[in-house]
Amino acid sequence: MALRMILTADESVLHKRCRPVTDFDERLHTLLDDMADTLYESNGVGLAAPQVGILRRVVVIDGGEELLELINPEIIATEGEQTGLEGCLSVPGKYGIVTRPMKATVRAQDRDGNWFEVDGEELMARAFCHELDHLDGHIYTEVAERMLTAEELEELANAQEDEE
């Protein structure tokens, strides 16, 4: 298990466009394993390679069912709309209100280079959009309708405590 350091949005690497993955080798597999470890350690839903300082088109997502590894992912279809809360491991302690598609279909390669398609709804569709934006150097705060106020953040923290 190896954890990578999660960079915050003030780092320039988070604002650059990532290059496609061309080598599906040991180095990619190590990156994917480390990204999954880092994601679970941070209790996040998704993590994109630039968040750990790697400018490659690699994303890991786990919305609670299974780990998805997306290499060179593209959104090929969307449907509907949802407006709700969004946060980012690179923007710690903050949340915003963001409108995303209700459903999204992604085409991507797995760790061995095989292409596949995956559908996501609600949280997964939101995660697809959020994480793929990272690969083009974009952070959700750029598209948020607004950020939560200090009072709203406090309410959210209290609600999360009640859940635990």
Instruction: Rank residues 28 and 60 by Cβ distance to Zn ion and give the closer one.
Output: 60
Size of the site for Zn ion (CB under 5 A): 1
Q: Smallest gap, in angstroms, from Cβ of residue 89 to Zn ion?
A: 6
**Which CB sits closer to Zn ion, 113 or 148?**
148
The 3 state secondary structure assigned to the chain is CCCCCCCCCCCHHHHCCCECCCCCCHHHHHHHHHHHHHHHHCCCCEEEHHHHCCCECEEEECCCCCCEEEEEEEEEEEECCEEEEECCCCCCCCCEEEEECCEEEEEEECCCCCEEEEEEECHHHHHHHHHHHHHCCCCHHHCCCEECCHHHHHHHHHHHHHHC
Contact stretch for Zn ion (CB under 5 A) within 36-44, 55-63, 82-90, 94-102: 82-90
Query: Is residue 88 within the footprint of Zn ion (CB under 5 A)?
Result: yes
State which residue, 113 or 137, has the beta carbon closest to Zn ion: 137
Residues that bind Zn ion (CB under 5 A): 88
